[in-house]
Amino acid sequence: MTTLLDVEAPAAPAASGPRPLIIGLDLSLRSTGVAGEGWTDHIRTKLVGDARLTHLEERIVSFIRNADLVAMEGPSFGHGSLGGHEDMAGLRVLVRRYCYRHQIPYAVLPPSSLKLYVAGYGKASKGEVRSAVADRYGVHTEGTARYDEADAYAALAAACDWWGAALAAVPDRQRAALDGCQWPDREAVTTR
C-alpha span between 87 and 164 (Å, rounded): 34
Q: Which DSSP state fits 182?
A: B
Question: Which tens digit of pLDDT belongs to each residue from 138-183?
Answer: 999 999 999 999 999 999 999 999 999 999 999 999 999 999 999 9
C-alpha span between 109 and 72 (Å, rounded): 6
Instruction: Share the mean pLDDT of the chain.
Output: 90
Which pTM value belongs to this model?
A: 0.89
pLDDT on residue 8: 44
CA dihedral sign, ordered 108, 92, 126, 165: positive
Question: Which tens digit of pLDDT belongs to each residue from 10-44?
Answer: 444 445 567 799 999 999 999 999 999 999 999 99
- Closest to 74 measured CA to CA, from 52, 56, 54, 96: 96
pLDDT on residue 62: 98
